[in-house]
């Protein structure tokens, strides 16, 4: 067990920004919200999955919507409202919270609800990265029911997605409600057992986010190389380095969708990378050739400070390094790839695992 205090939030923000692959909600906004919650209601204990009590009821909470909207329409306590709504629906309270995805502000969304509710969180999540759609969670890939789940907004509206014929239908219905709610909402899913968490969650990812951020900050403070620090903490490689020359971004159907183009520098001089995104970076190509796809992680950080650049803040002129990291093992199975491989996003291409 460790304790998520105000002090570790800046590290988590950097690490979750990297692991978010462009999405998961703006990490800086998430950090400010979590800081506010911890200042108000106290720090939050973080249990490792092995430390979960046998009778734990673990509720997954998260944000849903378009990150482009989330930076302007900042969330408040929607995840806490969604938590209370689903507890009320199932008739039993949560004893532990878990992150839906470790990327971006979703890494700390459970800390906010947990601080308010006086609960611990478990050091794990349902993606080991960020993905744009609700059904794209290792929990659901490996048999945890996706319903009932609650969606709540900041105004006082809430719905329960009670029963669906597939996890994709839960996404459709929750997304439709989210769009009505202003493209920014939070959700909470019916409780999981400790067995389900241990079997289906990606473990130790809040620690990983924290460690990544600490490594970056230490490198910055000591005049070291932040990119090197990232790759030493989390095995991966630099896919490309260059200057962002175009961002084509639309907020549509409840997502931020589009693509960006990067002109190469250093060893990528005279090459260009394009990245397609749907909240998160999905497919990276160099001169038209695919070099990395989901579920592997495609992460943009600034070349000088290793600062993650999320989809909604990506802009012309930024000097970025595009890092690739292999997906958590739970995603590289046939079941995992069905949901979150290239074909899960409509790309007619095989998944070729990134080599590092």
Q: Which of 89, 264, 290, 343 binds a copy of itself (CB under 8 A)?
A: 89
Alpha carbons 239 and 325: distance in angstroms, whole number: 10
Of residues 170 and 212, the one with the C-beta less far from a copy of itself? 170
Of residues 164 and 241, the one with the C-beta less far from a copy of itself? 164
Minimum CB separation of residue 89 from a copy of itself in Å reads: 7
Site for a copy of itself in 122-181 (CB under 8 A): 150, 155-165, 169, 172-173, 176-177, 179-180
Both tokens of 253, joined, read 């159907």
Alpha carbons 129 and 113: distance in angstroms, whole number: 20
Of residues 155 and 315, the one with the C-beta less far from a copy of itself? 155
Alpha carbons 276 and 290: distance in angstroms, whole number: 11
Minimum CB separation of residue 88 from a copy of itself in Å reads: 8
Angle in degrees, CA 8, 11, 14, rounded to 5: 150
> Within 10 Å of residue 322's Cβ, how many Cβ atoms?
24
Minimum CB separation of residue 78 from a copy of itself in Å reads: 13
Judge if the upstream peptide bond of residue 298 is cis by omega within 30 degrees of 0: no
Alpha carbons 336 and 331: distance in angstroms, whole number: 4
Of residues 40 and 162, the one with the C-beta less far from a copy of itself? 162
Alpha carbons 117 and 155: distance in angstroms, whole number: 19
Q: Which of 85, 114, 262, 339 binds a copy of itself (CB under 8 A)?
A: 85
Alpha carbons 229 and 77: distance in angstroms, whole number: 34
Burial of 32 (0-12, 13-18, 19+ CB in 10 A): middle
Minimum CB separation of residue 145 from a copy of itself in Å reads: 13
Q: Distance of CA 50 to CAs 1, 5, 46, 60, 342, Å?
A: 10, 21, 11, 17, 33
Angle, helices 205-221/9-19, rounded to nearest 10 degrees: 110
Up-side HSE of residue 71: CA atoms within 13 Å toward CB?
16
Minimum CB separation of residue 171 from a copy of itself in Å reads: 10
Instruction: Examine residue 209 and tell whether it contacts a copy of itself (CB under 8 A).
Output: no
Minimum CB separation of residue 168 from a copy of itself in Å reads: 11
Of residues 148 and 341, the one with the C-beta less far from a copy of itself? 148
# residues contacting a copy of itself (CB under 8 A): 21
Of residues 92 and 163, the one with the C-beta less far from a copy of itself? 163
Minimum CB separation of residue 149 from a copy of itself in Å reads: 10
Could you tell me which of 20, 18, 21, 9 has the C-alpha nearest to residue 46?
Answer: 9
Burial of 39 (0-12, 13-18, 19+ CB in 10 A): exposed
Of residues 157 and 218, the one with the C-beta less far from a copy of itself? 157
Minimum CB separation of residue 37 from a copy of itself in Å reads: 23
- Contacting residues toward a copy of itself, per CB under 8 A: 85, 89, 150, 155-165, 169, 172-173, 176-177, 179-180
């Amino acid at each position: 067990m460790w304790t998520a205090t105000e002090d570790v939030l800046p590290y988590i923000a950097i690490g979750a920004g990297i692991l978010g692959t462009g999405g998961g909600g703006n990490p800086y906004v998430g950090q400010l919200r979590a800081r506010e919650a911890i200042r108000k209601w106290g720090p939050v204990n973080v249990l490792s999955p092995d430390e979960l009590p046998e009778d734990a009821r673990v509720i997954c909470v998260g944000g849903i919507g378009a990150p482009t909207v989330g930076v302007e329409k900042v969330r408040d306590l929607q995840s806490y409202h969604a938590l209370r709504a689903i507890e009320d629906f199932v008739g039993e309270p949560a004893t532990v919270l878990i992150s839906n995805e470790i990327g971006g502000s979703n890494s700390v969304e459970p800390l906010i609800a947990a601080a308010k509710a006086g609960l611990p969180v478990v050091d794990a999540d349902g993606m080991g990265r960020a993905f744009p759609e609700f059904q794209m969670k290792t929990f659901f890939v490996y048999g945890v029911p996706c319903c009932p789940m609650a969606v709540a907004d900041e105004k006082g509206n809430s719905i329960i997605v009670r029963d669906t014929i597939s996890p994709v239908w839960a996404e459709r219905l929750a997304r439709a409600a989210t769009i009505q709610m202003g493209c920014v909402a939070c959700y909470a899913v019916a409780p999981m057992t400790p067995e389900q968490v241990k079997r289906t969650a990606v473990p130790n990812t809040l620690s990983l986010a924290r460690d990544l951020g600490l490594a970056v900050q230490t490198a910055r403070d000591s005049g070291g190389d932040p990119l090197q620090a990232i790759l030493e903490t989390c095995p991966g490689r630099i896919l490309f380095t260059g200057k962002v020359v175009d961002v084509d971004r639309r907020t549509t159907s409840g997502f931020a969708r589009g693509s960006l183009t990067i002109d190469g520098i250093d060893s990528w001089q005279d090459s260009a990378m394009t990245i397609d995104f749907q909240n998160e970076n999905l497919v990276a190509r160099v001169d038209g050739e695919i070099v990395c796809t989901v579920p592997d992680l495609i992460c943009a950080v600034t070349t000088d400070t290793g600062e993650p650049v999320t989809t909604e803040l990506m802009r012309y002129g930024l000097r970025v390094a595009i890092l690739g990291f292999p997906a958590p093992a739970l995603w590289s199975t046939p079941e995992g790839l069905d949901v979150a491989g290239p074909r899960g996003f409509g790309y007619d291409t095989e998944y070729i695992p990134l080599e590092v």
